[in-house]
Amino acid sequence: MRKLFDRDLHLDWKIAVLTIVSTLVLIVDFYHFPLLPWLKWFKVLENNELLMKGFDRTLLYFIIPMFFILVVFRENPKDYGLTLGDWKAGIVLTLVAIILIAPILWLVGHGNASMQNYYRPMMAGLPWIMLLDLFGWEFLFRGWLLFGYAQKFGSEALWLQAVPFALAHIGKPELETLSTIIGGFIFGWVAWRTKSFIYPLFIHLFVTSFTIVVAAFS
């Protein structure tokens, strides 16, 4: 029994912070809405749940991780993908992804009742509300987690960030959720290749926007 407790346990405190903070903000996002109820005082936000959710996620998924990067880790946000990075490769990869993904989204979304029921109400959120929502979302996974984990685990971080990304989709249409473990890896690879979360953000924005349009007009 003594040998069981004599073993040294070496834990990286930064990995602990990355894991705990990312898990907590996802849980808070799920259980608490609106997180900033005072925003209802602004006329433009009144009865606009999509916009309020976008502000909630900007706080949870971008501002809070940024606080830890700057104040706790005392590191440069550029090291977490907040940069244009290799913009030439980023533009090429974004365009290639759009060309390849568009016909798949059309085939999957056209005539799919679950996709239509889920995404049709979001038509009013295009494009700026969706951008606000996805900015923090992408930074959490393809910035904070990907590059944070990469400091310890290298390229294995591509899989590590894809798992919570997939689990965060539970509640969305099943077919979409099933695709996210691979989709999360691919988004992560684009960020890894370009050293920026910006290009996965624009790819994700296209995926969401095009899915909404297909659902609305099917």
User: 16-44 pLDDT, tens per residue?
Assistant: 999 999 999 999 999 987 777 666 656 55
- DSSP-derived letter for residue 139 is H
Between 217 and 203, residue with greater pLDDT:
203
Domain coordinates of the chain in residue numbers?
Answer: 2-217
Spatial distance between the Cα atoms of 52 and 157, rounded to a whole number of angstroms: 31
Instruction: Give the per-residue pLDDT at 115.
Output: 85
Q: Quick check: 3 pLDDT over 70?
A: no
H and E: helices and strands count for the chain:
11, 0
* CA separation for the pair 55, 129 (Å, rounded): 9
Mean pLDDT of the chain: 89
Cα angle vertex 182, ends 177, 184, to 5°?
80
What Rg, from alpha-carbon coordinates, does the chain have?
19
- Cα–Cα distance list, 73 to 15, 18, 42, 68, 142 (Å): 11, 10, 35, 6, 18
Q: What is the pLDDT of residues 131-180, one digit of tens each?
A: 989 999 999 999 999 999 999 999 999 999 999 999 999 998 898 899 99
> Rounded distance, CA 124 to CA 53, Å?
14
User: Using the 8-state DSSP alphabet, how is residue 12 labeled?
Assistant: -
Q: Indicate whether 57 pLDDT > 60.
A: yes
Is the pLDDT confidence value at 45 over 80? no
Give CA–CA dist 97/94, Å, rounded.
Answer: 5
Q: For the chain, give the number of residues.
A: 218
User: What percent of the chain shows pLDDT beyond 90?
Assistant: 63
